[in-house]
Amino acid sequence: MSFEGAIPGAYERRLVPLLFRPYARDLARRLAQRHPRDVIETAAGTGVVTRELAAALPQDTSITATDLSRPMLDHARTLPLARPVRWVEADAMALPFPDGSCDAVVCQFGAMFFPDRPRAFGEAVRVLRPGGVLLFSVWETVVANDFAAMVETAVAELFPTDPPDFLSRVPYGYHDTATIAQDLADGGFTGVPRIETLAERGRAESAEDVATAFCQGTPLRNEIEDRGTHTLDEVTRAVAAAIADRCGTGPVEGALSALVVTVAR
């Protein structure tokens, strides 16, 4: 699963305002209420949460933002921040930090990508101080998220014998609350997690913006290109037309739904 090449730039330009910024602000607000001294962010991507944390947390709170993808971090480093943070290329399942080195671990829409979630949660337990908190968000189902559902349906119609299923399989595939709670327990968290559903609205200037965001700013791009029967531009145009048929040719808006999980060490 690759976030390389043109994906980081398209991700930041298209997906961040469409999907991620409202939830990033929510996570930063929740964390600021806890007054942490040291924060580690995992799966930081292009830094949408990092930027909100830098603006919301006091100047003397240290923020370390990590991601496994160097291209995503390289892009994040080019964007303005309210104050300096530390960027570290790191795997959430093997964090290069000492035991008990932070008061909070935060992760927005990254847990779905972890190959071994209990192991990643175990790393959060290890680096947290007693009383520290893991705060993360994951998407609900594809059908609860309008734009993702429209994109997946439109793409499937172009590849009827082998529909790309990246969206439902990965980013929108980790939403069962019992599974999340069990993975946290298997990782070493002993408390009961608080899991809240948070509804937002996604907005874009056009259906084309939405189609470009999903088809060119996520690894769905790789699945489209690997099939070779339609070009990326052809698929993007077809998806845009399908969204416009439903939402109109002007600015578009759709429902977003995610789970926000809070669990203390």
Residue 190 domain-assigned?
yes
Answer yes or no: is 56 within a domain. yes
Nearest to 71 by CA among 1, 6, 167, 24: 6
Domain that holds residue 61: 7-142+170-203+256-264
**Domain assignment present for 161:** no
pLDDT tens, 18-54?
999 999 999 999 999 999 999 999 999 999 999 999 9
Confidence of residue 185 (pLDDT cuts 50, 70, 90): very high
DSSP-H helix ranges across the chain = 7-10, 21-32, 48-56, 70-77, 117-127, 146-158, 166-169, 177-187, 207-216, 220-227, 232-247
Residue 234 has pLDDT above 90, yes or no: yes
Q: How many distinct structural domains can be found in the chain?
A: 1
CATH code of the domain covering residue 14: 3.40.50.150
Establish if 218 belongs to a structural domain. no
Distances (CA, A) of 162 to 157, 223, 229: 10, 10, 11
Asked if residue 229 is part of any domain, the answer here is no
**234 within some domain:** no
Domain assignment present for 226: no
**Over the stretch 50-101, which tens digit does the pLDDT of each residue have?**
999 999 999 999 999 999 999 999 999 999 999 999 999 999 999 999 999 9
Tell me how far apart the alpha carbons of residues 120 and 177 are, in angstroms, rounded to a whole number: 17
Q: Is residue 240 part of a domain?
A: no
**Given the structure tokens 């608080």, which residue do they identify?**
194
